[in-house]
Amino acid sequence: MEIFSLDLGNIQTKIKSSKTEKVLPSRFRYYDDLGDQSTSLFDSKLDINEYEVNFDNMFSYAWGTDLDKIKANNDPIDTLTFEDRYTTNEFRLLASFAIGELAKDFKEAKEGILEVNIITGVPTDDFNREAIESFVRVLDTDHNITINGERLNIRVNEVKVLPQPTGTVYHQMLDDEGYLQNEDYQSEHVTVVDCGGGTLLIDSLINMNLSETERSQHRQGAFKVYDNVVSQCKTDQIATITSIDVEAILKDEKSDGYYYKPNKNESINITKYVEKAKVKYTRTLINTIETTLKGTSQIDTLLFTGGGANLIDHDEVKARFKHAIFVENSDFANALGFYKYGLASQEDDGE
């Protein structure tokens, strides 16, 4: 049985199977908005594909790692929302695209039906019966997806939804084969600070059991940094920059600073705006942690994870929390942990 790991974040989607692992934007476009592809003399080298799904066959959609590199007339379709996200058509489409993107590497999906187990996670505020059932309804079905004209058939055998912070802990605790490599986590007081694209999640696990008191969820994800930079830029008459532009600029960090290029002829240095936004985000983060935890002396391990962990000042955080650990590959840590959990579960079941 193949394992598909899905971390469908507000800003980024992280996916993994036995054959691939990818980070993609959690937004997409109507394929028609790309224009008439027949006018291009050469095949595009951008990683953008055309997706069609059986439950929404009126439209085809464009999605891929290079989605934000293209210019189009309309804004992309975003899945960032803080209420009832799992019931939206946009989220259902994103989930299907992610499943199809993983399935296209398997001949069984092209020649018959590929059967998979899906491991995924939700923020702890969403770890309740209603939200989990809504999420499972999206995933636990047969998926018929066409990518670039190639039809794929996927049957979901089982869906396992975990509290999101356990993804990073399982990534730290298990090796790449799903075997226990750091058993200390099973008896420790572990706090995970997950700086996601849309939310900041603070959760504690004691003996791998979620604490009901040392936890909080805030709308303080990395988008706050992007929006802050945009606001500062527009105050200084840099009017065309968007949060998507800032996100791309921060991912492509250069040693000499950050630059916004509205076209190939101009390059605007926005380093001062970025640095100010990062300082504000770091200080807000530290204050939120202190307010939530009311002290950290009892914590054995304090893990910082999520894509937003790359935007904060590590030295300032470590000066305040001396035992802080910044997880490597933090934006992908939850997805890796979900996958390792799937491997460990199969081992326990004797598969």
The pTM assigned to this predicted structure is 0.92
pLDDT band at 38 (very low <50, low <70, confident <90, very high): very low
**Token couple for 78:** 């975003």
In this model, does residue 74 exceed pLDDT 70?
A: yes
Residues 6+ apart with CB under 8 A from 62: 28, 29, 30, 31, 33, 34, 48, 49, 50, 51, 70
Q: How far apart are CA 229 and CA 129, in angstroms?
A: 38
Q: What is the pLDDT of residue 37?
A: 56
258-274 in b/e form (b: 16+ CB < 10 A) is bebeeeeeeeeebeebb
Q: For residues 289 and 36, which has the higher predicted lDDT (pLDDT)?
A: 289
Mean pLDDT of the chain: 92
Read off the pLDDT of each residue in 291-295 and give the average, rounded to a whole number: 89
pLDDT of residue 323: 87
232-248 pLDDT, tens digit each: 999 999 999 999 999 99
Domains of the chain: 2-163 (3.30.420.40), 166-330 (3.30.420.40)
Q: How confident is the model at residue 351 (pLDDT cuts 50, 70, 90)?
A: low
- Rounded to 5 degrees, φ, ψ at 240 are -90, -10
The percentage of the chain sitting over the pLDDT mark of 70, rounded to a whole number, equals 96
| pLDDT per position as a tens digit, 319-336 | 999 889 999 999 999 999
pLDDT exceeding 90 applies to what percent of the chain?
A: 81
pLDDT of the residue at 14: 97
278 token code pair: 């990062």
Average the pLDDT over 22-30 and give the result.
95
Other Cβ atoms less than 10 A from the Cβ of 283: the count is 14
The confidence score (pLDDT) of residue 212 equals 86
100, pLDDT greater than 70: yes
Of the candidates 284, 121, 276, which has an alpha carbon nearest to the alpha carbon of residue 200?
Answer: 284
Q: What confidence tens digit (pLDDT) does each residue in 272-284 have?
A: 999 999 999 999 9
Q: Which one, of 146, 120, 126, 123, lies nearest residue 5 by Cα? A: 120
Helices of type H across 294-332: 314-320
What would the mean pLDDT of 180-186 be, rounded to a whole number?
A: 93
Please count the other Cβ atoms lying within 10 Å of the Cβ belonging to residue 314.
13
pLDDT band at 44 (very low <50, low <70, confident <90, very high): low
